[in-house]
Structure 1
Amino acid sequence: MPMVTLAVLGDGRGELVRSMGRRYSLSDIALHEVDRGYKLTLVDPVGYPDSLKALATALGLADAVLVCVSPTGLNAQSGEQILAASLLGLQGALVYTGLESTSPHVLEQVRERTQKVLAGTSLHNAPWAYVSTTTHEGMGELWELVDALCSAIEERYALLVDEPTRVIVDQAFNVRGVGCVALGVVRAGRVSVRDRLTVYPLGQEVEVRSIQVHDEDVKSAPAGSRVGLALKGIQPNKLERGMVVSSTEELTERPHLECEFVPFTDGVSQGDVVHVFAGLQSAPLRIELIEGEGEAREHVGAGERCTLSGRLTARGPLVYRRGDVALLANLDARGPRMVARARIMG
């Protein structure tokens, strides 16, 4: 089974991830590892809600999500996290975390309210687990659910092994005697020792000197693997989160996006600046053209579909493959900041 990454969302997620795995990295996201006979990484967006980028990063790394539900139910922040996960099409499971202090009647009420929020999302049919993060009651059932979820992810990754190699970089640093090491996730294809690849958007050619997966040396790593790549031909200070080590990618500073806006947003207008979250990339975009039903428009609103074209105002070119799914966010929105699902078409 390949390595699997789950983003842990919702109220009380910190207590849950600490009870499930050992933390090995902390920035605006916390990474916890678990050995279940397969390698599992749990991602907690600890920088959220102050940083929407932390949430987008966690979801950009994730294969699926675990959403924590407290005895008081979902709050507005949990709703925003569920919305973002759903826009990316991520599935997963719901984890009720207050089993030790909840009556069956209250539990059923919380579940009913939660299911109403989940209607129409990618999690509306998600299974439930019921645990106590204090007494650890129910953890065995949760692990059974996680194992089944990861088995389904394995089948999905098996379909991606033959695609061109694509590694999304999370971080990079120098290791004495090794040189530049880039940490990231193999999103497609397979990366092997002595592969010659390109770092996008830099256009810098590199050679893979060695590969580690959870501190073990390997000769190659398939789609789904979280890897450490020792790279020849680049310095770690040149690598940033969101860059892509790949055999082929496209670049654009004026992306063309096919968008579907969420049902509860004020929408956007021509001239507005929104944020694009694509993979682990984040960039502000000034909207120059909105088209809907074959006509130019000045505004697009809640629940509508359109195509947007614009210009990145910072960061540099966006790395993409045609059809990649991204999130559009309005950081000044009064409600949920994630406003649309966008497919990058050019």
Structure 2
Amino acid sequence: MYYGSIITVLSSDKNKVTEIAEKLGKLHETAKTKIYYRKKGEYIRSILLTSEYPERIIDLAEALSLSSTAVLYIPETLTWMDGELALLIDSLNTPNKIVISNLEEGKIKNILGSLSTFTKFDLYNDISDLSETKAEDKGVIYIDRVFTVKGVGTVVTGFSFTNVEAHEKLVALPYNKEVEIKSIQVLDEDQKSVSTGVRVGFALKNVKEEEIEDLLYLVKPNIKVGKEIEGQINNYKWSTINQGQNHIIVKGHGVAVNIKIDKERAKVISPIPIPIVDNRISVLNVNVKQGKPRVAGYINL
């Protein structure tokens, strides 16, 4: 059974992002988020990168929210973008952090030291490979495409964050509709089951594309979902979380929500039900002036 890990490469230097990704895998998919793969036995590493940063931050935040490892390249000459990228990693509490830089270790620690999740990270001048890790089971499958294949039926693609078997029944969000997995493919090969951290394709049974055309997730029946989330708000001192509309990042998808703030508490009101599978939700304010971080903070649940 295939298992894997997902890695996002981040940098203010677009050329460096591609250079690092090419060292870690081979380009396989060229959508708005490029996916590089490296396969070793049943282990599959997926490396994600986006090409529209800094113009767009939500695509990058969505990719990073799927990842258990962030690879951050910090150049010798710093800009506001380097700070924003570090804030993004911190706000999503990405478990494994790798920093690539020619700067001295002491300077790197001064740059990142004020961010609570950067108390531990690996620092390299260059990188050629990474050790195998396995994505955590969250009971959810992130979905990015829904389409129809002649002779097969409705097919969805995404990343698995749970073990899934053929003929298993899952709940489709935001529809709260039960669907059955008819068949599973990984790298164009049929599989009876798949584990976490893997790019997957599922054929679904007895459901039409138009019934789930805006599908975001498939989740296990026991996973908690909701339209309202409450927690402790943490606003970065360089940024602003406004009362009202902001974006939150939830397992691969950016969702425009309303946030009500009362001192250190925040209530998130979402237009759609979302899976509550992480203990921290990143908050973005994409309407700030350029040069000010769009990563506003995070909410601890």
Category of TM-score, reference length = shorter chain: 0.7 to 0.9
Which amino acid in 1 is paired with 2:30?
L
Which amino acid in 2 is paired with 1:41?
S
- Which residue matches 1:8? 9
The 5 A counterparts of 1:220-235 are: 220-235=193-208
Rounded to whole Å, the distance in 2 between the matches of 1:247 and 1:276 is 23
Over the residues paired in the alignment, what is the CA RMSD in angstroms? 2.5
Rounded to whole Å, the distance in 1 between the matches of 2:48 and 2:285 is 24
**Residues 87 and 108 (structure 1 numbering): CA distance in 2 closer, same or farther, change over 3 Å?**
closer
Q: Does 1:43 align with 2:45?
A: no
The 5 A counterparts of 1:148-297 are: 150=132, 153-154=133-134, 157=136, 160=137, 165-188=139-162, 190-237=163-210, 238-240=212-214, 242-268=216-242, 270=243, 272-287=244-259, 289-292=260-263
Deviations, residues 226-285 of structure 1 (Å, cap 9, x unaligned):
3211111333452446333432344444433432222322443x4x32112211232222
Greater percentage in helix: 1
Among 261, 265, 272, the alignment partner of 1:317 is 272
Among 114, 117, 120, the alignment partner of 2:108 is 114
The structure whose Rg is larger is: 1
Rounded to whole Å, the distance in 1 between the matches of 2:50 and 2:208 is 28
> SS in structure 1 opposite 2:60?
helix
Rounded to whole Å, the distance in 1 between the matches of 2:247 and 2:196 is 28
Q: Does 1:127 align with 2:106?
A: no
**8 Å Cα contact 2:46-2:198 kept in structure 1:** no
**8 Å Cα contact 1:212-1:228 kept in structure 2:** yes
**8 Å Cα contact 1:168-1:184 kept in structure 2:** yes
Structure 1 residue 331, shift from structure 2 partner: 1.2
Structure 1 residue 56, shift from structure 2 partner: 1.4
**Residues 325 and 236 (structure 1 numbering): CA distance in 2 closer, same or farther, change over 3 Å?**
farther
Rounded to whole Å, the distance in 1 between the matches of 2:112 and 2:147 is 40
Gaps of 5+ in 2: none
> SS in structure 2 opposite 1:123?
helix
Whose relative contact order is higher, 1 or 2, with alpha carbons under 8 Å and at least 6 apart?
A: 2
TM-score by length of 2: 0.86
Rounded to whole Å, the distance in 1 between the matches of 2:106 and 2:215 is 39
Deviations, residues 194-226 of structure 1 (Å, cap 9, x unaligned):
101110111222111111222222211123333
**8 Å Cα contact 1:199-1:246 kept in structure 2:** no
**8 Å Cα contact 2:140-2:217 kept in structure 1:** no
> SS in structure 1 opposite 2:88?
helix
How many residues are treated as equivalent by the alignment?
Answer: 291
Structure 1 residue 317, shift from structure 2 partner: 1.1
Deviations, residues 304-345 of structure 1 (Å, cap 9, x unaligned):
xx2122544xxx31312265422111112241111111145x
Greater percentage in strand: 2
Deviations, residues 147-174 of structure 1 (Å, cap 9, x unaligned):
1xx3xx33x63xx3xx7x3211122222
Structure 1 residue 3, shift from structure 2 partner: 0.9
| Identity rate, percent | 20
**8 Å Cα contact 1:201-1:251 kept in structure 2:** no
**8 Å Cα contact 1:244-1:319 kept in structure 2:** no
